[in-house]
Amino acid sequence: MSGTATRAQARAAARPAPGRGRLPRSLRSAGGIFGAGWLLLLAVLSATASLWQPYRPDAQNLFVRLQGPGSSHWLGTDDLGRDTLTRVFAASGPALLAAALSVVVAFAVAVPLVLAAAEHGRRVERLASRGAEVMLALPVTIILLALVGAVGGGDTYLIMTVLGLLMAAPVYRTLLGVAQSLHRRLYIDAARVDGVGPVRIGIRYILPGMATVTAVQASQLFGLSVLIQSGLAFMGFGPAEPAPSWGGMIATASQDLYTDPWMMVPAGVVLALTVIAANELGDALAASPHEQERKRLRPRARRKPVPRPVKPEPRPLTPASPLKSVAPASGAPLLEVTDLSLGLAAGPPVVTSLTLRLAAGRVLGLVGESGCGKTLSALAVLGLLPPEVSLSSGSIRFEGRELAGMSERQLRPLRGRGIAMIPQDPMVALDPLFTVGSQLTAQLRRFRRIGSKEATRLAIEQLRLVGIADPARALRARPYELSGGMAQRVTIAMALAGQPRLLIADEPTTALDVTVQAEILDLLRGLVEDTGVAVIIVSHDMGVIADICDEVAVMYAGHIVEQGTATAVLEDPWHPYTTALLAASPHLAADQQVPERLVMIPGQVPAPGRWPGGCRFAPRCPFAEQRCQEPVDLAPHGGPGASGTLVRCARAKELRELRAAVQLASGDRGLAEERS
C-alpha cells in the first residue's frame, strides 16, 4: 500500500461533497453533455418532424435539383430535387430506432447468459464462452450481407435483430469479466451463507454492479450499429426508396461528386455526429469519479533548482565478491534527511519536518499506521514519489550529495548502485513473463558490465547468499512458480546487484507468512552484519521493527512523534501515541499476561488537510491540555541538547513523573495503570 492510504485520505478531503438530485458527475463532462444532448435533439427532431419539416421527404422537384445551400433549401437538394434538410432528419428516426433495437437484442441475449455463466460455475461458463468466442470471430458485415441477400435490404428491423444477436458475443465477453469479479466479492459469499438463491444473487447483487459497464457498452454498440446500418445502406441495401437513409444519401452524393460536392456533407456530418455522440456518451460514462479526480490533481510543473548539480562518479565494483560492500568512513552519516516536507500538488502537505540520520550498518525503522506518511517518506529518498506528490522543502543528503531537487536523470545513476528498494509484494515485482535468471542476470550485467556467462555464475552466487537452496533451478523458474519467501529473496538479490550502500524496504514482509517473515528478517539482519549495508524499513508491525531495527521513528499524521533507539522507544516509550500503540498490540512477550481488553485509541487518524493546528494527536490523546493546541517540536525528552529519545509532546516529562508517582503509590503495577 505504497502511500495510497495517505493520498486517498487527502483526495477524499479535497473532494466536494456529492450533491443529490444533480446530474451524475460522470455526465457533467463536455463529451457527456454533447453526447446525450445531440442524441436527445435528434430524437426530438425526428419525432416532431411533421411539425417543422419545410417539405415532405419524398417531394421531388426536378427544377431545383442538385442545389447547394440556399434560402429555400437550407441544406440544398439532391439529384431529384428533394430537400436535404428534411431528408437528413427524416432518416434519423428509423436509424435511431433500429440501432436501439440491436442494442436491446444484444443485451437481452447476453445479460442472462452472463448471469448464468457467472453463477453456475465452470461447465456452463465454458460452454457459453466457447460459443461467444466463435460468434466473435464471425465477420459480421459479411453475414449481414448474406442475410440481406436472403431477405433484401428493406427489412431493416430484421437485419438489426440479427446484428444484435451477433453483437451479443462481445457484450457477453466484457460483461462476463465484470460479473466474475463481482462474484468474487465477499458480500456474495455472505448472501450465499444467508441462503440467497442464484437468481436473486444475480439480480440483486450482480446486475447493479454491472450498470456502468452496461451503459458504456450500450452506447458504443449503439454507435457501431448506426455505422453498420449506414454502411449497408451505402451499398444499396438500406431502406427501400423513397425512404431516406444517411448511407443512401451519401451513396447518391458520391455519384454526383463532380457536379454537387456539397451533397455529401449534410448526411455525412449528421451521421458522424451521431456516432461521435454515442461514443462520447460512452466515454463520459466510463470515466469514473476517480479518474476525474486523478486528472484534477496534476503533478507540479517544476522541481526546485539543484544548488550544486554533482555527477556521481561510478564506483569501482568488484565482481569477484558479490555481496561485500565498502563502508564509508565510520561516524559520518550515510543518509541525512533534514526537515523534509512532501505535499500533494493541489493541496495539503502529507509529510512535514521529517529529520533522520542513518549511519552505515544500521537499520532504521519507520513505523506507524496507514496514512501516516511513512511509505511516502521512504520513496522520497529515491525520488520515486507518485506523480501527484512532490517534495516541497527540505534536504536529503546521501553520502554528502544533495538529492532533493535532483531530476530523474540525475537520480538514475544512484538507483540500484547507491540506494536500492525492496518491494512489498515480491510476486508482482518480478516480471511474470521472464525467468528469474534472465531478470537477475540482466541487472547484474547492467551494473557490473560483465558477460552473460559470468553473470549467470554470479547470479547463482547471489541466490545462494540470499538463502535459496537450489539456485540453478531457481534461475530457470518463472516468478509464479516460486513461493512468496523465495520470490522476496530473489528481489533482495536483485536489489543487491548493484552493491548499494542503502536499502529501502517498504513493508517487505507484509505479504508473507509469519515463519517466512522471520526468515527474511534474519536474512536482512545477516546482510547488514556481513556487508555493512544500511537499511530503512517501513512497517506497521511493531514486532518487525523490534526484531531488526537499531533505531526507530514513530510517525503519526505526517510527522515523527518519537524517535530514538529501538530499545528505548519500544521498551520505554515517552509519547502517549507510542504507548497506546504498544498497548493496543495483542503480541505479548512470553512473560506478559494476556490482558482482559486491549487499549483502544478513540477516534481516527486525521487526513492530510484536516490536521489540527497544534499537536496532531491531541484530539485523541487522553492527556491533552490547553497547551497541546500549540505546535510542538520534536525535542529530546531530557531537554534541549540532552541525549536519548526525541519526543514531540509538550507534557512528556510531566507524564513520566506522574507515572512514576502512581507506580510508587500503587506498588509498581507498571504501565498498566496509565494505559487503561
Partner 1 sequence: MNEAVLMNEAGPEPALAVRNLSVRYRSGWRQQPVTAVDDVSFDIATGETVGLVGESGSGKSTIAKAVLGLQSPCAGRITLNGRDITHTSVRQRRSMVGELRAVFQDPFSSLSPFQTVGQTVAEPLRRQQVSAGRARELAAGAITSVGLPEDALSRYPHQFSGGQRQRIALARALVSDPDVIVMDEPVSALDLSTQAQVLNLLAELRDRRRHALLFVAHDLGVVRFLCQRVIVLYHGMVMEAGPAADVTARPKHPYSVALTAAVPVPRPGEQATRRAVRRAVTAQASAGAGQWNASAGPGSAGCPFAPRCPEATDVCRAQRPLPRQLEGRLVACHHAR
Partner 2 sequence: MTGYLARRVCMALVTVVVAVVLSFLLVHLAPGSPGQLILGAGATKAQVAAKNSQIGWNQPLLTQLGRYLAGVVRGNLGTSIIDGHSIGHDLLQRLPVTGLIAVLAAAVSAVAGTMLGLLAATRRGAVERAVSTTSGVALSLPSFWMGVLLVYALSIKAGLLPATGYVSPGQSLAGWLQSITLPVIALAIPATAIVARTASAALAQALRQPHIQMLRSLGEPPWRLLLIHALRSASVPVVSVLGVQFVALFGGSVIIENLFALPGLGQAASSAITSYDFPAVEGVVIVASLVVVLVNLLLDLLVAGLDPRVRAT
Show contacts with partner 2 in window 54-93 (CB under 8 A).
none
Nearest to partner 2 of 272, 326 (CB atom)? 272
Among 133, 339, 481, 633, binds partner 1 (CB under 8 A): 481
CA–CA separation, 104 and 298 (whole Å): 40
Select from 147-155, 321-329, 468-476, 635-643 the region that touches partner 1 (CB under 8 A): 468-476
Q: Which of 219, 245, 443, 563 binds partner 2 (CB under 8 A)?
A: 443
Reduced to 3 states (helix: H, G, I; strand: E, B; else coil), residue 662 is helix
Q: How many residues form the binding site for partner 1 (CB under 8 A)?
A: 72
Instruction: Compute how many other C-beta atoms are within 10 angstroms of the C-beta atom of residue 70.
Output: 11
Q: Is 352 left (phi over 0), alpha (psi -120 to 50) or beta?
A: beta
3-state class (DSSP) for residue 352: strand
* Binding segment (CB under 8 A) for partner 1, from list 76-84, 196-204, 310-318, 354-362: 196-204
What span, in angstroms and rounded, lies between the C-alpha atoms of 563 and 151?
Answer: 83
- Quick one: what does residue 3 bind among partner 2, partner 1, none, with the CB cut-off 5 to 8 Å set by partner type? none
Peptide bond into 242 cis (omega under 30): yes
Q: Examine residue 193 and tell whether it contacts partner 1 (CB under 8 A).
A: yes
Residue of 237, 556, 574, 617 that binds partner 2 (CB under 8 A): 237
Using CA atoms, how far residue 172 sits from 166, 206, 217, in Å, is 11, 14, 10
Give me the half-sphere count of Cα atoms (radius 13 Å) on the Cβ side of residue 346.
14
Nearer to partner 2 among residue 236 and residue 307 (C-beta): 236
Q: Which is nearer to partner 2, 228 or 546 (CB)?
A: 228
**What type of residue is 375?**
T
What residues from 151 to 190 belong to the interface with partner 1 (CB under 8 A)? 185-187, 189-190
- Asked whether the CA dihedral 345, 347, 353, 354 is positive or negative, the reply is negative
Q: Which of 20, 122, 302, 453 binds partner 1 (CB under 8 A)?
A: 122
User: 1, 8, 80, 235: which one contacts partner 2 (CB under 8 A)?
Assistant: 235
Rg over alpha carbons for the chain, rounded to the nearest Å, is 34
Q: Is 547 in the site for partner 1 (CB under 8 A)?
A: yes
Bridge partners (DSSP) of residue 555 are: 560
Among 47, 598, 658, 660, binds partner 1 (CB under 8 A): 598
Residue 290 interface partner, choices partner 1, partner 2, none, CB cut-off 5-8 Å depending on type: none
Contact 636, 642 (CB under 8 A): yes
Task: Closer to partner 1 by CB, 540 or 616: give it.
Answer: 540
Q: Does 676 bind partner 1 (CB under 8 A)?
A: no
Is residue 275 within the footprint of partner 2 (CB under 8 A)? yes
215 contacts partner 2 (rule: CB under 8 A): no
498 binds partner 2 (CB under 8 A): yes
State the minimum distance, in angstroms, from the CB of residue 640 to partner 2: 38
Residues 482-501 that bind partner 1 (CB under 8 A): 482-486
Q: Which of these segments, 114-122, 205-213, 426-434, 542-550, binds partner 2 (CB under 8 A)?
A: 426-434
Which of partner 2, partner 1, none lies near 497, with the C-beta cut-off 5 to 8 A by kind?
partner 2
Query: Which residue's CB is nearer to partner 1, number 8 or number 243?
Result: 8
Give the full edge-to-edge strand order of the sheet including 335-344.
349-358, 335-344, 389-398, 401-402
26-45 residues near partner 2, rule: CB under 8 A? 31
Closer of 83 and 551 to partner 1 (Cβ): 551
Q: Report if residue 11 touches partner 1, rule: CB under 8 A.
A: no
User: Per the structure block, which three cell numbers stand in for 226?
Assistant: 448506426
Alpha helix positions (H), 235-263: 246-255
User: What b/e readout covers 495-534, taking b as 16+ CB neighbours within 10 angstroms?
Assistant: bbbbbbbbbbbbbbbebbeeebbebbbebbeebbeebbbb
Sign of the dihedral defined by the CA atoms of residues 193, 196, 197, 198, in that order: negative
- Decide if residue 310 touches partner 2 (CB under 8 A): no
Q: Tell me whether strands 551-556 and 363-367 are parallel, antiparallel or unpaired.
A: parallel
Return d(Cα 8, Cα 389) in angstroms, integer.
Answer: 12
Name 477's Cβ contacts closer than 8 Å, sequence gap at least 6: 435, 436
What does 231 interact with, of partner 1, partner 2, none (CB < 5 to 8 A by kind)? partner 2
545 lines the binding site for partner 2 (CB under 8 A): no
In 3D space, the residue among 250, 279, 242 whose CA is nearest the CA of residue 80 turns out to be 242
- The CB-of-89 to partner 1 minimum distance in angstroms stands at 40
Residues 372-411 that bind partner 1 (CB under 8 A): none
Which of 166, 580 has the CB closer to partner 1? Answer: 580
Q: Is 142 in the site for partner 2 (CB under 8 A)?
A: yes
With respect to partner 1, which residue has the nearer C-beta, 250 or 358? 358
Query: 159 near 105, Cβ under 8 Å?
Result: no
**Residue 243 contacts residue 95 (beta carbons within 8 Å):** no
- The verdict on 469 binding partner 1 (CB under 8 A) reads yes
